[in-house]
Amino acid sequence: MLHPGMPPSSPDQSVMNAVEHAYGRYEQQAERWTEGYIRRGGTVHCQSGCVHCCNFPVRVSLAEALLTASRLSPIQLDAMRERAAEVLSNARSARSWDEFFQRHRREIGYCPLLSRDTGRCTAYEVRPTRCRDTFSALSAEYCRVGTLENLTRTEQATYQRLVKTTPGTDGLSHYIAPLEDLSEPIWDTAARAMQQQWGLEVWGDFWVLTTLTQDAGFMDAVRQGQAGRAAKRAKALKLWHEEIVEIG
């Protein structure tokens, strides 16, 4: 059973502030880059209400998870906890990353923070890095689960040609590579802030880490820089899988 966490301590607040600041810098840089991209003839196909990428697995730092959790309601946190259990169950039974990934998208489905009524993220201001830096240079149809997996050979050739000739991609997929690259400083900032304030780093699944932030025992171990104790606590809470939570 989870024990309610204390209000964020000052080191936690510093970690969250660092991440929030890095998000702000990213938004400015991404906006500037996107303006230039559009001026050069590029198209960003993302728009409000477009949700196909909200069923991807999302990896975050505990710093980001803490920030997201700080703005969620008890109902949202309950939904995150349910989702965390599904993610872990999937990880325990999946025989490969591909199986984990496909089942995540097809069976676990959309993030509980996605409003099914509006198609909007209900935690938009504090959504994780991966949700900020994923943009498509081609139609959103290519982001829909099953589209790429079910292309015929001819359609695959067309897709590959399109990707190669569309500016902004890395030539392999339709996502906009420079907008992903621009988010590197957010990961670096989170890593540095966690090391400085806690003496360790925690990375892993978005829903599992957000749930772990709500446990006082887990967070106390993190604040003391005690990786072993934090892992033990996560195991006791059944919020542990070595490929889903990384502490060190």
Which of 114, 177 has the CB closer to ligand SF4?
A: 114
Query: Are the CB atoms for 209 and 202 separated by under 8 Å?
Result: yes
143 binds ligand SF4 per the rule CB under 6 A: yes
53 binds ligand SF4 per the rule CB under 6 A: yes
* CA end-to-end distance (rounded Å), the chain: 24
Which of 134, 197 has the CB closer to ligand SF4?
A: 134
Q: Which of 38, 44, 41, 122 is nearest to 79 (CA)?
A: 122
- C-alpha–C-alpha distance, residues 247 and 192, integer Å: 14
Of the candidate residues 2, 46, 148, 151, the single one contacting ligand SF4 (CB under 6 A): 46
| Residue 248 Cβ vs ligand SF4, minimum distance, rounded to whole Å | 25
Query: Are the CB atoms for 242 and 92 separated by under 8 Å?
Result: no
Of the candidate residues 34, 136, 189, 214, the single one contacting ligand SF4 (CB under 6 A): 136
Identity (one letter) of the amino acid at 228?
G
123 binds ligand SF4 per the rule CB under 6 A: yes
Strand order from edge to edge, sheet including 59-61: 59-61, 202-205, 245-247
| Residue 30 Cβ vs ligand SF4, minimum distance, rounded to whole Å | 13
Of the candidate residues 134, 169, 189, 197, the single one contacting ligand SF4 (CB under 6 A): 134
Task: Return contacts of 66-71, CB within 8 angstroms, 24+ apart.
Answer: 66/8, 66/12, 66/15, 66/16, 66/213, 67/16, 67/19, 67/20, 67/126, 68/123, 68/126, 68/127, 68/128, 68/206, 68/210, 69/210, 69/213, 69/214, 70/8, 70/16, 70/126, 71/123, 71/125, 71/126
163 binds ligand SF4 per the rule CB under 6 A: no
213 binds ligand SF4 per the rule CB under 6 A: no
Q: Please count the residues of this chain forming the interface with ligand SF4, following the rule CB under 6 A.
A: 19
Of the candidate residues 2, 50, 79, 94, the single one contacting ligand SF4 (CB under 6 A): 50
> Which segment (74-82, 98-106, 120-128, 233-241) binds ligand SF4 by CB under 6 A?
120-128
221 binds ligand SF4 per the rule CB under 6 A: no
Q: At 26, phi and psi to the nearest 5?
A: -60, -45
Site mask, ligand SF4, residues 77-116, x = CB under 6 A? ----------------------------------x-xx--
Residues that bind ligand SF4 (CB under 6 A): 45-46, 50, 52-54, 58, 111, 113-114, 121, 123, 127, 131, 134-136, 140, 143
